[in-house]
Amino acid sequence: MDEYWGAVVWGLIPTIVVAGLLVFVLRSILRMDRTERKVYAKVEAEERRRRGLPRPDENAG
């Protein structure tokens, strides 16, 4: 019976490691996207202010 549980554990370890890496990579991608959008919005606001353009309407599609 001990060999059975050892095989189960060794069979699950690769799956858990790969799932952990996948979660880490997806989380990093989402964080980078969020940060990039914030930086882009900041740069766009600065350019609009510099050119004297009105702020974009938040409610517009």
Q: Where are the domains of the chain?
A: 15-50
**Residues 11-32 as b or e (16 or more Cβ within 10 Å = b):** eeeeeeeeeeeeeeeeeeeeee
In the structure, what pLDDT confidence band is assigned to residue 60 with cuts at 50, 70 and 90? low
pLDDT in tens, 26-53: 999 999 999 999 999 999 999 999 998 8
Q: What's the predicted TM-score (pTM) here?
A: 0.61
